[in-house]
Structure 1
Amino acid sequence: MTVLLAAAACVGFAALIAGATGFGAALVATPLMLLVGVGVTEAVVINLFVGLATRVAAAYQLRAHMDVRRVLLLGGAAIPTAWLGALTVSMMPEDVLKPAVGALTILCGIAMALPSRREPVAPSTGATLAVGALGGYLSTTTSVNGPPPVLLLSRAKVAPMTFIADLAGYFVIANLASLALLAHYGDLSLSGTGPMLGACLAVALVANQVGIAIAQRLPVALFRAGVVTMVVASGAITIAVAA
Structure 2
Amino acid sequence: MTMLVMGAVCIGFASVIGGATGFGAALMATPAMLMVGFDVPEVVFVNLVAGLVTRLNMAYQLRNQINWRRVALLGGGSLPGAWLGAVTLNMLPEQYLKPAAGALVMLCGIAMTLPVRTTTPRNPPAAAQALTGVVGGYLATTTSLNGPPPVLLLMRARVPPLSFIADLAGYFIAANITAVGILWIRDEITESMIWPRLPIFVVAAVVGNLVGLSIARRLPAEVFRTAVIVLVIAAGAVTLAAG
Query: SS at the partner of 2:192?
Result: coil
Aligned twin of 1:13: 13
Deviation, structure 1 residue 17: 0.5
Alignment of 1:234 with 2:230, yes or no, is no
Deviation, structure 1 residue 56: 1.2
Gaps of 5+ in 2: none
Structure 2 CA distance for aligned equivalents of residues 85 and 192 of structure 1:
20
* Structure 1 contact 94–141 (Cα < 8 Å) conserved: no
Deviations 1:132-187 (A, max 9, x none): 11111222233221111001100111111111111111111111111111111111
Deviation, structure 1 residue 74: 0.2
Letter of the 2:29 counterpart:
A
Deviation, structure 1 residue 95: 3.3
Letter of the 1:177 counterpart:
T
Relative to the length of structure 1, the TM-score reads: 0.91
Question: Aligned residue pairs: how many?
Answer: 242
Deviations 1:105-124 (A, max 9, x none): 21221121123233442111
* Structure 1 contact 27–144 (Cα < 8 Å) conserved: yes
Query: SS at the partner of 2:75?
Result: helix
Query: SS at the partner of 2:56?
Result: helix
Spell out the pairing of 1:47-196 with structure 2 (5 A cutoff). Answer: 47-120=47-120, 121-191=122-192, 193-196=194-197
Q: Using a 3 Å threshold, how does the CA distance of structure 1 residues 83 and 40 change in structure 2: closer, same or farther?
A: closer
Query: SS at the partner of 1:118?
Result: coil
* Structure 2 contact 44–144 (Cα < 8 Å) conserved: no
Deviation, structure 1 residue 237: 2.4
Letter of the 1:62 counterpart:
L
Deviations 1:218-239 (A, max 9, x none): 1111100111011112221231
Relative to the length of structure 2, the TM-score reads: 0.91
Q: Identical aligned pairs, as a percentage?
A: 54
Structure 1 CA distance for aligned equivalents of residues 41 and 110 of structure 2:
32
RMSD between superposed Cα atoms in Å: 1.9
Q: Using a 3 Å threshold, how does the CA distance of structure 1 residues 91 and 32 change in structure 2: closer, same or farther?
A: closer
Structure 2 CA distance for aligned equivalents of residues 91 and 196 of structure 1:
28
Deviation, structure 1 residue 84: 1.4
